[in-house]
Amino acid sequence: MKTYIVGNWKLNFNVGEASVYLHKLQKKIANYRDIEVVVAPTALCLQSLSLQLDRSKIKLGAQNAFYQDFGAFTGEISFAELNGLVKYCIVGHSERRYIFHEDDKMVAKKVAAAIRHKITPILCIGETESERAFGETADVIRDQLLGGLSEIGAEDVSKVIVAYEPVWAISSTKDAKIATPDEIAEVTEMIRKNLKEVYGAKTSEEVPVLFGGSVKPTNAGAYLTTPGINGLLIGGASLILEQFTDIIDIAKRVK
């Protein structure tokens, strides 16, 4: 399986800044056959970045889209519009869930719309600090995982990437903590166990599982060698070119 290194730029970099960053990134990295480097800029940057993109090195991802293809949905963009522009779309990021009140039903419809338009959804799941403290992690993981997959057929589950992002480890969370490889391995096992129970052993092994939450060059090696982890979803560190390219180098080394 490939290793996925995904940069989630969130609401950072305007069109000009994004273009300069991509130009520098493409100069700095090579074409790695077994590492999939993805950047997810704001929707406004996608069109222009796609024109300068060297697809042999980097793929584009969107951060969000709505599940309806078109219609009276002021302010939204659709997976239908993203078709052909991006290979990936982050779905159900915790910021979407907690700031924009997206629930598992909404997330599931978005996962289905992504698949319908041949875009790989990166389904984000993860417990909050209080859910973990109350011993609810396994339930939250199961609900968000199976809930998020509930609108697609079993044959499409292996087209989804799952990202485990504990909310308490995301760098923008107040008093964010650093997840340990053991904590991550435990949840990765839960994810694969749930997938296996519902969709069978083969599918559970085919679904890539990424980790996200305060990933830096200093911890990327440990996370990438955590059992069951197939890549990283990186927020803050993906905005700093040296850090992002260092993480790509680390991925290459541990592969």
Closest residue to ligand PGA in the complex (CB): 235
Token pair recorded at residue 209 = 């599982």
Report in angstroms how near the CB of residue 125 gets to ligand PGA at its nearest.
12
Closer CB to ligand PGA, 92 or 147, in the complex: 92
CB of 164 to ligand PGA, least distance (A): 11
Catalytic residue of the set 36, 81, 93, 151: 93
Nearest to 90, CA basis, from 126, 129, 53, 48: 126
User: Exactly one of 36, 95, 102, 165 is catalytic; which is it?
Assistant: 165
Q: Minimum distance between the CB of residue 46 and ligand PGA, rounded to whole angstroms?
A: 18
Q: Are 174 and 215 in contact (CB under 8 A)?
A: no
Q: Least distance from C-beta 60 to ligand PGA, angstroms?
A: 16
23 an active-site residue?
A: no
Task: Name the site residues for ligand PGA (rule: CB under 6 A).
Answer: 8, 165, 170-172, 212-215, 233-237
Residue 3 vs 204, nearer CB to ligand PGA: 3
For the chain, the distance separating the N- and C-terminal CA atoms, rounded to the nearest angstrom, is: 10
CA 179, chain centre distance (Å): 17
Bridge partners of 210, per DSSP, are: 163, 231
- The C-alpha atoms of residue 219 and residue 171 are separated, in whole angstroms, by 13
Active-site residue 93, yes or no?
yes
Is the sign of the CA dihedral 29, 30, 32, 37 positive or negative?
positive
Burial zone of 70 (CB within 10 Å; 0-12 exposed, 13-18 middle, 19+ buried): exposed
C-alpha of 28 from chain center: 23
Nearer to ligand PGA, 228 or 236 (CB): 236
Q: Which long-range contacts (CB under 8 A, 24 or more apart) does 12-16 make?
A: 12/42, 12/239, 13/41, 13/42, 13/45, 13/239, 14/44, 14/45, 15/44, 15/45, 15/48
Q: Which of residues 111 and 237 has its CB atom nearest to ligand PGA in the complex?
A: 237
Minimum CB separation from ligand PGA for residue 212, in Å?
4
Question: Within a 10 A sphere around the Cβ of 41, how many other Cβ atoms?
Answer: 28
Q: Which residues are catalytic?
A: 93, 165
